[in-house]
């Protein structure tokens, strides 16, 4: 008798879990419970190297709540009393997009802050500077043109909702050391296909430059006054004191860039400063879900510029990661202060 009841209860519990589809019983309960304490600011972080300085930051108070789902860990806490959820994305655009979409699908999120280190394509900036790019793009969605064709020839599948010659191209032949042509010919930069939450499903739209949230951007201008760390110890310091600076454009691709010629191309052609592997994934998801986002990326290497021997990335990457956290935490303080001022005004 006892075992019969036990089996019945067990089956009931199992079918309960299954009726929730992919998001199962206990996890679903935890998610629902967590959402009662929202809305949250979502922090998408490339890896532990950039997450750890935030976990160590005295202004981050962990709530001890952790929800693991679909291979991702969502950590709950507060920064200056602002409820936050931290999620590590992992490297590259697919990881960044998946982590961001899960964050937005599961939780009540009012905005997304993404931070980390980056390569620098802008010769006017220095290692250690923290950039706030106004626009982000994914710059490795290409149409690779056949040898013999040039800018006057239409691309395959060119036209409305198809490929375009509007954004521009890279000609490999322009970079041969002996001035000769190159069979790799041209690659044409293409916009991403997007499906915004307020669009018609299955009706394609295009997006190349994705702007960060204008309100977050104007608020973050105040951060340009912030004093950043410039030494890793008592003897080794950056030659130029680092600063927080707004720049026009950043770009992401599933490419670790350590090549001076391509770095120079990205800067002269597109006025790109930070170069990395995740922001565009976060940007494209937030853009489609109509959630405000901003990215803070600290420049930790020259993406192939500079001399190979100086190996800046190794020496200052920890400092850069720390500075990207410093800027993120200060930004959240500004958000909280402004919210408090608004509250005061309503009384
Ligand atoms: C970065 O911050 C951590 C604390 O999270 C500290 O232990 C470390 O020394 C800092 N690194 C540098 C290079 O400033
Ligand atoms: C400071 O860091 C540099 C680079 O890691 C190292 O070579 C040097 O010995 C350190 N100096 C001190 C005083 O720890
Ligand atoms: C940023 O993107 C928006 C929307 O695509 C565009 O209107 C604006 O001119 C862009 N600004 C820069 C600096 O690229």
Number of domains in the chain: 2
**In the beta sheet, which residues pair with residue 116?**
297
**In the beta sheet, which residues pair with residue 245?**
131
Q: Which helix (H) or strand (E) holds 339?
A: helix 312-346
Q: Is the pLDDT of residue 143 over 60?
A: yes
Q: Which atom from ligand 3 is nearest to the alpha carbon of 207?
A: 5
Tell whether 15 and 83 lie within a shared domain: no
For residue 155, being part of any structural domain is answered with no
* CA atoms of 117 and 313, how far apart (whole Å): 10
Give the pLDDT mean for 259-287: 97
How many residues are listed for the chain in this entry?
347
Tell whether 223 and 97 lie within a shared domain: yes
User: Please, are residues 191 and 185 in contact by the beta-carbon 8 Å criterion?
Assistant: no
Which pLDDT band holds residue 16 (cuts at 50, 70, 90)? very low
For residue 152, being part of any structural domain is answered with no
Residue 126 Cα to ligand 1 midpoint, Å, equals: 20
Opening angle at CA 85, ends 298 and 72, nearest 5: 90
Q: Which residue has its alpha carbon closest to ligand 2 atom 6?
A: 236
Q: Candidates 58, 319, 322: which one to mutate for ligand 1, based on the most atoms within 8 Å of Cβ?
A: 322
- Ligand number nearest CA of 191 is 3
Q: Candidates 211, 272, 295: which one to mutate for ligand 3, based on the most atoms within 8 Å of Cβ?
A: 211
Tell whether 4 and 77 lie within a shared domain: no
For residue 216, being part of any structural domain is answered with yes
For residue 174, being part of any structural domain is answered with no
Tell whether 118 and 234 lie within a shared domain: yes
Tell whether 19 and 74 lie within a shared domain: no
The range of the structural domain enclosing residue 68 comes to: 37-141+191-346
For residue 173, being part of any structural domain is answered with no
Q: Which residue has its alpha carbon closest to ligand 3 atom 13?
A: 248
Task: Tokens for 54, please give them.
Answer: 């935030």
Task: Tokens for 168, please give them.
Answer: 């521009």
Tell whether 212 and 290 lie within a shared domain: yes
DSSP assignment, residue 174? G
Tell whether 68 and 12 lie within a shared domain: no
Task: Tokens for 75, please give them.
Answer: 């950590």
φ, ψ of residue 195 to 5 degrees: the values are -130, 80
CATH of the domain at 255: 3.40.50.1580
> What is the rounded (10 degree) CA torsion for 298, 301, 304, 307?
140
Strand extents, DSSP E, 260-338: 272-276, 293-301
Residue 142 Cα to ligand 2 midpoint, Å, equals: 44
Give the pLDDT mean for 146-153: 97
Q: How does the average pLDDT of the chain come out, rounded? A: 91
- Ligand number nearest CA of 320 is 1
For residue 175, being part of any structural domain is answered with no
Give the pLDDT mean for 255-281: 96
pLDDT in tens, 23-43: 888 999 999 999 999 999 999
124 C-beta closer than 6 A to ligand 3: no
Tell whether 6 and 137 lie within a shared domain: no
248 C-beta closer than 6 A to ligand 3: yes
Is the torsion defined by CA of 236, 241, 245, 248 positive or negative? negative
pLDDT in tens, 99-142: 999 999 999 999 999 999 999 999 999 999 999 999 999 999 99
* CA atoms of 91 and 322, how far apart (whole Å): 19
CB atoms within 10 A of CB 146: 11
Q: Which residue has its alpha carbon closest to ligand 1 atom 9?
A: 232
For residue 13, being part of any structural domain is answered with yes
Task: Tokens for 282, please give them.
Answer: 């976060």
pTM above 0.85, yes or no: yes
209 C-beta closer than 6 A to ligand 3: yes
**For residue 18, with 0-12 CB atoms within 10 Å meaning exposed, 13-18 middle and 19 or more buried, which class applies?**
exposed
Output the CA–CA distances (angstroms, integers) from residue 69 to 28, 73, 91, 107, in the order listed: 10, 6, 18, 12
Counting residues of the chain whose pLDDT is more than 90, the rounded percentage is: 82
Residue 27 Cα to ligand 1 midpoint, Å, equals: 35
Tell whether 97 and 25 lie within a shared domain: no
For residue 336, being part of any structural domain is answered with yes
pLDDT in tens, 47-81: 999 999 999 999 999 999 999 999 999 999 999 99
* CA atoms of 76 and 295, how far apart (whole Å): 20
251 C-beta closer than 6 A to ligand 3: no
Residue 201 Cα to ligand 3 midpoint, Å, equals: 25
Residue 263 Cα to ligand 1 midpoint, Å, equals: 29
Residue 58 Cα to ligand 1 midpoint, Å, equals: 13
* CA 259 from centre of chain: 22
Tell whether 23 and 43 lie within a shared domain: no
Q: Which atom from ligand 1 is nearest to the alpha carbon of 229?
A: 14
- Ligand number nearest CA of 312 is 2
User: Please, are residues 107 and 101 in contact by the beta-carbon 8 Å criterion?
Assistant: no
Output the CA–CA distances (angstroms, integers) from residue 339 to 43, 52, 82, 158, 283, in the order listed: 19, 27, 10, 47, 24
Q: Is the pLDDT of residue 12 over 50?
A: no
Tell whether 22 and 54 lie within a shared domain: no
Tell whether 218 and 94 lie within a shared domain: yes
Residue with tokens 């958000």, as numbered in its chain = 335
* CA atoms of 254 and 277, how far apart (whole Å): 6
Q: Which atom from ligand 2 is nearest to the alpha carbon of 234?
A: 13
């Amino acid at each position: 008798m006892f075992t019969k009841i036990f089996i019945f209860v067990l089956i009931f519990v199992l079918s309960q879990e299954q009726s929730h589809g992919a998001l199962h019983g206990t996890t679903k309960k935890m998610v629902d419970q967590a959402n009662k304490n929202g809305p949250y600011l979502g922090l998408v972080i490339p890896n532990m190297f950039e997450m750890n300085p935030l976990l160590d930051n005295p202004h981050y108070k962990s709530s001890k709540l952790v929800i693991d789902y679909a291979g991702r860990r969502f950590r709950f806490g507060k920064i200056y009393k602002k409820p936050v959820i931290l999620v590590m994305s992992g490297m590259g655009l697919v990881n960044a997009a998946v982590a961001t979409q899960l964050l937005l699908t599961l939780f009540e999120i009012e905005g997304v802050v993404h931070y980390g280190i980056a390569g620098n394509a802008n010769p006017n900036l220095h290692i250690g500077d923290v950039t706030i790019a106004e626009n982000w793009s994914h710059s490795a969605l290409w149409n690779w043109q056949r040898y013999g064709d040039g800018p006057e020839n239409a691309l395959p599948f060119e036209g409305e909702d198809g490929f375009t010659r509007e954004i521009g191209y890279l000609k490999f032949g322009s970079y041969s050391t002996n001035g000769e042509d190159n069979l790799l010919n041209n690659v044409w930069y293409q916009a991403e296909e997007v499906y915004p939450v307020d669009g018609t499903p299955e009706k394609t739209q295009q997006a190349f430059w994705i702007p960060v949230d204008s309100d977050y951007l104007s608020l973050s201008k105040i951060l340009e006054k912030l004093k950043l760390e410039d030494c890793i110890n008592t003897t080794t310091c950056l030659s130029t004191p680092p600063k927080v600076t707004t720049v026009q454009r950043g770009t992401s691709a599933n490419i670790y860039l350590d090549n001076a010629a391509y770095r120079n191309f990205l800067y002269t052609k597109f006025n790109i400063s930070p170069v990395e592997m995740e922001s565009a994934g976060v940007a494209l998801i937030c853009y489609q879900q109509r959630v405000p986002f901003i990215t803070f990326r600290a420049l930790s290497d020259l993406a192939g510029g500079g001399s190979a021997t100086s190996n800046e990335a190794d020496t200052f990457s920890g400092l850069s990661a720390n500075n990207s956290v410093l800027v993120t935490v200060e930004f959240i303080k500004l958000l909280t202060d402004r919210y408090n001022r608004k509250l005061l005004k309503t009384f």
